[in-house]
Amino acid sequence: DPTPRTEESSLLKELVDVPLDNTTRKVNDLVRRGRLARCHALLIDRLAYMRGPFYRFGSRRRVQEIISDPESLAEVCAAVAQQHGIPLRDFLPAETLSDKLVEAGDSVLRRVSRRLIEDAEHALEVEIPSLMERVSMEREHM
């Protein structure tokens, strides 16, 4: 049977932890969104590469076929994931990706700057883990 003092102490501890829990949630959301953005950038880059800079004969049609077929798009996602060593689960489901790419059209199929991809990977591999470590240390000091 908890006493009023222990209940009060427990409630105060929970109130103190709320900002840190919120920060942790936000950092986790940042990680999720960053990983998704990296997947999208790498996929768009691969599709733009497949299409070619001058719309090689038939390449545009082939890319459109891949985009509109979730199974083919899933194969491209798997190849991108394997090439870059990222988990396939970081990608949206192929059906969702296909719908979004068909809706967006050709205009989104542009090569993505290597620098942009490297910066995103640096953030995911170095900056965000460092941020998580600081949040963890802050929690320990509370």
pLDDT tens readout for residues 38-63: 999 999 999 999 887 665 667 888 89
CATH at residue 41: 1.10.268.20
- Structural domain of residue 13, as residue ranges? 4-140
Whether the predicted pLDDT of 77 surpasses 80: yes
Q: Which two tokens stand for residue 63?
A: 């890319």
Smallest CA-to-CA distance from 88 within 74, 70, 102 is with 74
Smallest CA-to-CA distance from 136 within 10, 1, 28, 43 is with 28
Region 19-43: mean pLDDT is 87
- Quote the CA–CA distance of 142 and 122 in Å, as a whole number: 30
**pLDDT band at residue 126 using 50, 70 and 90 as cut-offs:** very high
113 burial level (CB within 10 Å; 0-12, 13-18, 19+): exposed
* Other beta carbons within 10 Å of 130: 11
Number of domains in the chain: 1
- pLDDT of amino acid 16: 67
Q: Which two tokens stand for residue 136?
A: 């963890």
- pLDDT of amino acid 56: 64
Q: What is the CA radius of gyration of the chain?
A: 22
Q: What is the pTM of this model?
A: 0.77
Q: Is 56 helix (H, G, I), strand (E, B) or coil?
A: coil
- Quote the CA–CA distance of 9 and 95 in Å, as a whole number: 50
Residues 6+ apart with CB under 8 A from 16: 142
Residues 6+ apart with CB under 8 A from 45: 111, 112, 117
